Structure 1
C-alpha cells in the first residue's frame, strides 16, 4: 500500500511559540490514520501545517511525491485535500444547500452523484436542506462540515476533533458517517474520544510536546496499557 502523504521532521512556529518540534508520519492510501496525544500536544497544528495555514519552518510535507509545504492553502486544497476544522467552519447564515454549493468546485455529473450519496449518508442534511446552518445542532453542523469537505473528489480528508462537544448519541451518528466515508477515501483524524478513534482508525501516531513519539496499528495501541496511560491518561 503506497504512501499518500508523508511528513518528515516537520517543525512549525505560531508566533514565537515552537509548536511542532519534529513530527514525522506516513499516511497510507485507503487507511484512517489517527493522530493522538494530550491537549496541546500539536495535533491540530499538524493538520493546519499540512494545509499551509501554519506553514512549516523546517521539514517537508509530501503529497503523492510532491513537496507542498511552501504552497498557499488554496493550492494545497486544489491538490485533493479536504479539511474539516475543529470549529467546523460552516456559514451559519447560509442554508445547508448554500453551504454545499459554496464548497463545490466542479458542477458535473460526478459531483451530483457524490452529493446524492452524501445526503443518503447524512439524512439530517437532506431534512434541513433549506434551513440555515446556524439552525442545526452541533452534530448536524459537524455532518455538514464533513459533507462540504467530501463533496469534491478529494483523495484525502483531514478531520479535526469531530466528536468535540457532542452528546453521546450524536457522537455515534458522526462515527457511523465517518465509517461509511472511510471506504471511499483516505482520512487523517484527530480525536480525543479513544472509543471513537479506536473504532474508526487503522493506525495511529502519538504526538507529545510537538514530536512524534510512537506509531503502529490501532490494535497494537489497544493492547498497550502503558502507552495509553502515559500519553492519553487512560487508566
Structure 2
C-alpha cells in the first residue's frame, strides 16, 4: 500500500511554545493509523498542523505526494482531508440537516449516496434532523461531527478523541461506526481510550513531548507491556 499522508520531522510553534519538535509518521491508504501519547504530548497539535490551523515551522507534510504544509486550511480540506476536531465543531444554532448541508462541498450523486449511508449509520441524526445541533446529547454531537467530515468524498479523515466525555455504551456505538467507515476511507485517529484504539487501529505511532518515539502494528503494541506503561501509563 502506498503512503497517502507523510509527515517528516514536523515542528510547530504556538506563540513562544515549541509544541511539535520532530513528528514523523506515514499513513497507508486503507488503514487506520492511531496517534497515541499522554495528555499534552502534541497529538491534537499534530492534526491541527496537518490541517494548517497551526502552521508547521519546520519539516514537511505531503498528501498523495504533494506538499501541503504551506496551504491554508480551506485548501487542505479541498484536497480531500476531513477533520473531526476534539470539540466536535458543529453549529449549535443550526439544525442537524443544516449542519450537514453546510458541510457539503459539492452536491452530486456520490455525495447523496454518502449522505444516505452515514444517516443510516447514525439513525439518531435522522431522528433529530430538524432539531438544533445544540440540543443533541454529547454522543449525538460526536456522530454529527463525524458525519459532517465523512459526507464529502474525502480520502482521509482526521478524527480527534471521538470517545472523550462519552458514556461507555455511546463509545461502543462510535467505535462500531468507525469500524464500518474504515472500509470506505483512510483514518488517522487520536484516542486516549486504549481499548477503542487497539480495536480500531491497524498501526500506531506514539508521540511524547512533541516527538515521535515509537511505531509499529497495533498487535505489537498490545503485547508490549513496558511500552504501554512507559508512554501511555497503562499498568
Give the distance between the partners of 1:62 and 1:108, measured in 2 at CA. Answer: 28
Question: Paired residue for 1:166?
Answer: 166
Shift in Å at residue 110 of structure 1?
1.1
SS at match of 2:26: strand
Give the distance between the partners of 1:119 and 1:199, measured in 2 at CA. Answer: 23
Give the distance between the partners of 1:202 and 1:96, measured in 2 at CA. Answer: 32
Specify every segment of 5 or more residues in structure 1 that has no aligned partner in the other structure, as ranges.
Answer: none
Question: Paired residue for 1:188?
Answer: 188
Give the distance between the partners of 1:148 and 1:173, measured in 2 at CA. Answer: 17
Shift in Å at residue 108 of structure 1?
1.2
Correspondence list, 1:79-228, <5 A: 79-228=79-228
Correspondence list, 1:20-39, <5 A: 20-39=20-39
Shift in Å at residue 107 of structure 1?
1.0
SS at match of 2:12: strand
RMSD: 0.4
Question: Paired residue for 2:19?
Answer: 19
TM-score using structure 1 length:
0.99
Question: Paired residue for 2:10?
Answer: 10
The alignment status of 1:47 with 2:47, answered yes or no, reads yes
Shift in Å at residue 4 of structure 1?
0.1
SS at match of 2:45: helix
Give the distance between the partners of 1:163 and 1:44, measured in 2 at CA. Answer: 14
Question: Paired residue for 1:233?
Answer: 233
Shift in Å at residue 109 of structure 1?
1.3
Question: Paired residue for 1:78?
Answer: 78
SS at match of 1:97: helix
SS at match of 1:163: coil
Question: Paired residue for 2:57?
Answer: 57
Aligned length: 235
Shift in Å at residue 11 of structure 1?
0.3
Shift in Å at residue 111 of structure 1?
0.8
Shift in Å at residue 194 of structure 1?
0.1
Give the distance between the partners of 2:12 and 2:117, measured in 1 at CA. Answer: 37
**Runs of 4 or more off by more than 3 Å in structure 1?**
none
